[in-house]
Amino acid sequence: MNNPATDKAFAGPIPQLYQTYLVPMIFQPYATDLAQRLASRALSRVLEVAAGTGVVTRALASVLPAQVAIVATDLNQAMLDQAADVGTARPVEWRQADAMQLPFADGTFDAVVCQFGAMFFPDKAKAFSEARRVLKPGGVFIFSVWDWIEVNEFADTVTSSLASLFPDDPPRFMVRTPHGYFDTALIERDLADGGFTKPAHMVTLAQRSRAASPQVAAMAYCEGTPLRNEIEARGAALLGKATEVAAQALAKRFGQEAVDGKIQAIIVTIDT
């Protein structure tokens, strides 16, 4: 019953739960880092793809000079609506767009950024070719992907716990998609197939993920990501039970109160 077709479905209650629980828990530290990587560059226009609920957009809007235009796109309008509701420190342009078919002219942007979106692209080389196409000569493409699931402790614990609830058909969304694109040799090949000719600079960056309780962390993963779609496909009434099982596993590993676990990602920078 694992269904890759639902992996990109960020709809219904997911965008709000994602923003409320998952963004501060795992995305904010990397958003701050990504924005700082661009802060020293001379820029006029920046494009963000797979912007989600805008955690990187907000970081960019806070760090980059006011004259730098920021265009933030995502495939899911519901995520952009949530991002716009949260808002930014200064105006940005929100626009629904497919990363594999960007609605922008060639050579439009000085930088293209993408935080934890590349794993969701059905054709990664095609998405990378679009990023290259809309970049000006001398532009930069910066994106991040999650490292393998075993070094991302909350995600690993949640995934393992759900196998006990669904032993015959465990939900594998976290392994398959968010943590399924960490092979650096494959990333390099996809970038080359996308038309990038310069070598990519890749760094592995570990951070800490924190939540107020095991229950909050379990809700973030089970109810605020497309993992929810996989659970509900096995029975809509099972979502609460799955969240409870995940919370119990997190509490056993990390304690009953505030929890703290390792997260790890790969940051890729490549110039045109």
Q: Per-residue pLDDT tens for 135-188?
A: 999 999 999 999 999 999 999 999 999 999 999 999 999 999 999 999 999 999
Q: What is the number of domains present in the chain?
A: 1
Pairing of strands 135-146, 45-48: unpaired
The Cα–Cα gap between 51 and 116 comes to 9
> pLDDT-derived band of residue 268, with 50, 70 and 90 as boundaries?
very high
Residue 6's pLDDT is: 72
Domain residues for 219? 4-271
Strand-pairing partners, residue 45, are: 69
pLDDT digits over 3-26, tens only? 566 766 787 889 999 999 999 999
The residues near 6 (Cβ < 8 Å, ≥ 6 apart) are 226, 229, 230, 233
Q: CA–CA distance from 270 to each of 122, 234, 254 (Å)?
A: 21, 41, 37
Per-residue pLDDT tens for 242-259?
A: 999 999 999 999 999 999
Q: Is the pLDDT of residue 260 over 70?
A: yes
Q: What is the CATH number of the domain that holds 155?
A: 3.40.50.150
Please give the Cα distance from 145 to 143 (Å, whole number).
Answer: 7
- The 3-state secondary structure of 20-80, one letter per residue: HHHHHHHHHHHHHHHHHHHHCCCCCEEEECCCCCCHHHHHHHHHCCCCCEEEEEECCHHHH
Task: Determine phi and psi for 247, rounding to 5 degrees.
Answer: -65, -40
pLDDT digits (tens, 9 = 90+) for 194-251: 999 999 999 999 999 999 999 999 999 999 999 999 999 999 899 999 999 999 999 9
Give the per-residue pLDDT at 4.
Answer: 63
Q: Which residues contact 9 (CB under 8 A, 6 or more apart)?
A: 76, 226, 229
Asked if residues 144 and 36 have their Cβ atoms less than 8 Å apart, the reply is: no
134 to each of 106, 109, 130, 237, 252, how far by Cα in Å?
A: 4, 6, 6, 45, 48
Q: Is 33 a residue whose pLDDT tops 80? A: yes
pLDDT for residue 3: 55
pLDDT digits (tens, 9 = 90+) for 35-91: 999 999 999 999 999 999 999 999 999 999 999 999 999 999 999 999 999 999 999
**Which tokens in the block code for residue 118?**
């590349």
Task: Give the predicted TM-score (pTM) of the model.
Answer: 0.95
pLDDT at 10: 83
Q: What is the dihedral of CA 238, 242, 244, 247, to 10 degrees?
A: -170
